[in-house]
Amino acid sequence: MKDESQVKITLPDGSERFYPKGVTALEIALSISEGLARNVIAAKVNNEVWDPTRQITEDSLVKLLTWNDEDGKATFWHSSAHLLAEALEALYPGIKFGTGPSIEKGFYYDVDLGGQTISQEDFPKIEAKMLELARQKNEYIRKPISKADALEYFTKKGDEYKLELIDGLEDGSITLYEQGGFTDLCRGPHIPNTGFIKAAKLTNIAGAYWRNKQENKMLTRIYGITFPKQKELEEYVTLMEEAKKRDHRRLGKELELFAFSEKVGQGLPLWLPKGAMLRERLQAFLSKAQSRAGYVPVITPHIGSKDLYVTSGHWDKYGKDSFQPIKTPNLDEEYMLKPMNCPHHCEIYKTSPRSYKDLPLRFSEFGTVYRYEQSGELHGLTRVRGFTQDDAHIFCRPDQVKEEFIRVIDLVLYVFKSLGFDDYSAQISLRDPNNKEKYIGRDEDWEKAESAIIEAAAERGLSTVTELGEAAFYGPKLDFMVRDALGRKWQLGTIQVDYQLPQRFQLEYTGSDNQKHRPVMIHRAPFGSMERFTAILIENTAGQFPLWLSPDQIAILPISEKFADYAEDVFFQLQDHDIRGFVDHRDEKIGRKIRDAEVTKVPFMLIVGEKEAAEGKLSVRRKGEGDLGSMTIEEFTAFFKKEAAIA
């Protein structure tokens, strides 16, 4: 038993230890092993990340965090943002600081240079200063401070950005952190000292409005990343070089898949012929799978009455961030560019009386929607203002929810397997029980919906993590997080359970008891959006798509113009078998034609000359493999169809 001077510490494995009150996570680590203590950079105390040097004064569940933990990395990188700020203050006197959070890979700091300039040419000297300061092994010291004293400190320093942040904080909740000669407003946590940071690289510089509001001043955002070992930085740099080669924006241009036009507008992609063919094949693939699974297609307009989104609740939640309503000659009439498809599908459900025997109803639509994204957040196809969702909404009875949810999981996994996305996890996103005002609907409905998702994921053996506060405002969801060939994580497929929209739209069905009942609605999108999915597919495959998906599957290469007619005849015969490509009629040597087809990632090159024309054959080459020998058209067709079969 413990006495009053002790605290009980429960470790993740369930073991319990007793320590004097005021023990720190570092001291707990040291009591386990010196090696562990050397690697602990933060701690999770009762599910809140703390400094490893902060005193624990009550019984607590404690998880020791190292570089190998996501929360450990986040703490490391946030501490590195402070180190960057200290280096900048030393090199650029008078600089002022906004905020400096960790991000998925590294950190950034928003700064006001006060008329000074920083460019990428300055990065090496800033990195050198960061490492010079890191070698001093200065401790990150947490200092609680009153609001009045915090205001006085930053008033003297002349940093209006920190004063604005302090103005929104409650007295008694404010802390400063100090390391070396630098002090910052921060709630933490931080690593023990700067000495843990052994390698640093600044990665980018950009503009960012203060607090992300366009009416505010444009600050300079400096991005960076740090590591506890130089070798890890070198591996990261190599990975980033590979990422540049795979960047979907670069490959999209090289492969003539999509483009953007300032005249058309930011974030509005133009799909070029080859990109359109790629999209059509993805859509046909999913449409076929959906048809087998009992979905029926619907089509809805690109605009909808503002009243539609007021009814759904989307206007209250997202109206300010959407494109503004469209006026009509009727002063009382307003329309919106469609920001989502689900309200339209609710209205389709209402077009006929429904019986319990009709359910489930599964409406699917490749519906284009429009959402206003800040210009600084737009990024190729991954963040756009107009995108097409592979959307579907299932209307079912409450007793059918789990079964339908499992069927959708199976569909998502089929899509991932077919396209080579083998490294994925599933995130169960629940509402924040301490902030229920963010959500709509009754507690009992939320509990039923959350239970259905948890049970369905467990039955399918999914590897899941649970995140509180990440649910949609109308219901919990299961998000599929895919790691690409470079190890980056992307959210693609999503499934959501919704008791709220059927209530808001007064949807009904007649039950077996001849009484009216509310259906439950399941939202789902295996791709997420055609744009983002295509971007990730481009980068994951480096533009070398599965054969069945390739825009150009063959290039027919006549050795000279004398064999153009035979090349065209071959082309038309292969088209009859749904084999797609082109004839290269350019007046170029065959070696150049082969190289160009390789560069544009055409899977098969079919060379035709005098011998091939005389024998009715093709000389077949495969990208990356070379010569496969001579085949008749029938032999190649059979070989191709076997190779192009979807996994």
Per the annotation, binding residues are: 342, 393, 523
The answer to whether the Cα torsion of 633, 634, 635, 636 is positive or negative is positive
- Extract the tokens encoding 271: 């799909």
Catalytic residue among 54, 354, 517, 523: 523
3 state DSSP class of 524: strand
Hey, which residues does 466 pair with through a beta bridge? 428
Residue 523 is among the residues annotated as catalytic for this protein = yes
The backbone torsions φ and ψ at residue 139, rounded to the nearest 5 degrees and listed phi first, read: -75, 150
Rg of the chain taking only CA atoms, in angstroms: 29
Catalytic residue among 82, 393, 431, 593: 393
Catalytic residue among 179, 290, 389, 496: 389
CA distance 105 to 108: 10
CA distance 131 to 122: 15
Could you say which DSSP state residue 645 is in?
-
| Residues 6 or more apart in contact with residue 187 via CB below 8 angstroms | 173, 175
Q: Position of tokens 């309200």?
A: 343
Query: Would you tell me how many other CB atoms lie within 10 Å of the CB of residue 613?
Result: 18
- Extract the tokens encoding 324: 């503004």
Residue 346 is among the residues annotated as catalytic for this protein = no
Evaluate whether 380 touches 535 at the Cβ level (below 8 Å). Answer: yes
CA distance 15 to 178: 35
Residue 517 is among the residues annotated as catalytic for this protein = no
Residue 477 is among the residues annotated as catalytic for this protein = yes
Catalytic residue among 371, 385, 593, 617: 371
Q: How far apart are the first and last CA of the chain?
A: 60
Residue 389 is among the residues annotated as catalytic for this protein = yes
Binding-site annotation: residue ranges for Zn(2+):
342, 393, 523
Q: Position of tokens 């009904």?
A: 508
Catalytic residue among 82, 314, 342, 553: 342
The answer to whether the Cα torsion of 625, 631, 637, 643 is positive or negative is negative
Q: Which residues are catalytically annotated?
A: 342, 371, 389, 391, 393, 477, 523
